Amino acid sequence: MIRVMTTASTRSEPSATSDVGTARSESEPAAPSDVEKAAARAAGQALAARLVRNAAAQCLTGDEITRIGRQLARSIDHYERLHRQPPTWADALAGVDPVLLAPLQAVPDGWPNQPAHWRRELRQHLMTELRKTRWIVYNRTPRSLQPGDQGRGWLRIGGSTAVAHSPHGEGGTGPG
């Protein structure tokens, strides 16, 4: 039997044996569905949250919070004396020993997001811990950062003389 194929139009039509609507070849991977994308996003967010919690638990111990809190209170106090206004968070951190802040900068292997997201998340944990332990106080208003009860108390007993050198250049002179 001989089959004759006639073409009445120039438009290609699917054959009876092919799947209508599948335009990709067998070697092309299937695009992930919205459900798969959402699941991957959720898994990445869960991994990120777990990594931040673990890092915060390891590097933001009570002793480290105390060390950072003391330096931050001194930095805030010094900045206010020089500029007659409270510092921004970045201004205040500039007066803290970078070695103390180094663990906040080290992005771990397997971090699923941008490095800036890592630093922002750990900085949030640090701010929360410093606030809970009353080393600092702040609200949503820009430049509201100030030493808290713990920080003011430490400064009153001569805390700013405890370290002879600070990145702001203070020469170890105390508050009074």
Domain range annotation of the chain: 42-161
Q: Cα–Cα distance between 138 and 58 in angstroms, integer?
A: 25
Distance CA 103, CA 165 (A): 22
Report the predicted TM-score, pTM, of the whole model to 2 decimal places: 0.64
Q: For residue 47, what are its two tokens?
A: 């991994």
**pLDDT tens sequence across 76-118:** 999 999 999 999 999 999 999 999 998 888 887 877 888 888 8
Q: Does the pLDDT value for residue 166 go beyond 80?
A: no
Instruction: Give the pLDDT confidence score for residue 9 in this predicted structure.
Output: 46
